[in-house]
Structure 1
Amino acid sequence: MWADVRAEAAAGRQVYVVCPLIEESEKLEVASAEETIERLAYGELRGLKLELLHGRMSSAEKEQVMNRFRSGETDVLVATTVIEVGVDVPNATIMVILDADRFGIAQLHQLRGRVGRGVHASRCWLVTTAKEADDQLIAESNPRIDALVESDDGFYLAEVDLELRGEGTLMNKEQKGRSDLKLASLRRDRELVELARDAAYEIVDADITLSKQPELRSELALFLKPEDEEFLFKN
């Protein structure tokens, strides 16, 4: 992988290396940008021009670093997810995401979109942590990583993400975990949910107070709590 990075840099291309953390953590064995740039500068990428970019830097500092990267002065940009959106450098052809299993599908999909923006062939390396068993390193299968390798379709990846995270609840801000629906599933019954939504719009557009739908109004009164009504009104 690092040989690929060196080869691309020798060809005049540029590279992103993305880390989950800014600085090393005592609690988590996760790659940090500060530790990674030091290790690479004196190790695998010795001799290349590396720079650091993260969210704790001032706006002026970040802009200076990005300007040097855009102009081609920097070979490798070691960064956090601060580059997730709004970065467009067509000459960048490789992204290495360390401890990729620490990121969500949406983040990884956004990050890898930073390469492949020019005419040159591009690659994104998703590096995950291997576990040791019987003196051998075993890479565990990760459904999020598998999905990203399988597809670059944002809609499909959003479906996988919903499947893995869970639907969450309808009546509050919990966006993941167990659904509060008793029978229906937003994933399994999507077409039915869309039909029900369309029917609800028709009813409410014609009779916003439900004065002509006493049975439906009574059911809603039993089903909806005051806080649920407030949440729906705001959203």
Structure 2
Amino acid sequence: MQNFLDTEIKFLQGVGPKRAELLAGEAGIRCYRDLLYYFPYRYEDRTKFYKINELEPEMPNVQLQGRIVSYYSEGKGSGKRLSADFEDETGRIRLTWFRGIKWIPDTYPAGREYIIFGKPGLFGGKINIIHPEIESAEKREERIVSSFQAQYSTTEKLKNHFITPKFISRITGTLFKTMNFRVPETLPAWLVEKYHLMSLHDALFEVHFPSRHDLLEKARYRLKFEELFYIQLNLLRYKSHRDTHVKGFVFGKVGDLFNRFYYNKLPFELTNAQKRVIKEIRKDLGSGRQMNRLL
């Protein structure tokens, strides 16, 4: 199981050597484990489907399901663009692309049912969505679908090679479908039970494909708990090593310089708490151990 998670990302279906090189260089995703721990930075609510007759300019991102009727090219030179008529039972809008003009009609043939996501705008007096996300309604049923669409950090270089948040979500879903085992637990069973933590496998799945908001919060809590737990454990390990292996300078007695200052020069009376701390410091200085103290 551990060896499987260390498999190079290029062997995951849909990735390949070229995309693997980009994912490694731009996002630090080199193996399956890296992909599982490449967490979304936000989520978009994809629970609602709008009808075309409900759309208005300047609405936030909307999700529609309908059919691409036809494609046609417009403009010339640098202003050349690809447009498509998209319709449902309530009306028709225009979709526009300035990039991907050559491959989009072949990838998403006219006459089929699609789900699109994007921000409506107004162009030429008509509702228009520029560079919408588009997905075959048929293929959507084949992949892991979440009501809250995960959004992942990408770079301009990744986007130029069509490695988008949607692509990262898709290959993450492919990875979960490929695994024939649950991700091994990293925390002791008693600790998981004591703090009512979600299992690691379920937390990783929910953080990528949330089914409900409350489960997403539980997944986040589990992953944050684990990270802070191991940070604290590592700090304790360093402290234990320091206490047992590192020897500090030993100051066996208090010198005359300190005594003269304390009894003759100090212009105020110390509080009992301050006196106690000074005694503790004197004890530490005579112990031979390193002292870490915040005053």
Greater share of strand: 2
Same fold, TM-score > 0.5, yes or no? no
Structure number with larger C-alpha Rg: 2
If the length of structure 2 is used for normalisation, what is the TM-score? 0.25
If the length of structure 1 is used for normalisation, what is the TM-score? 0.30
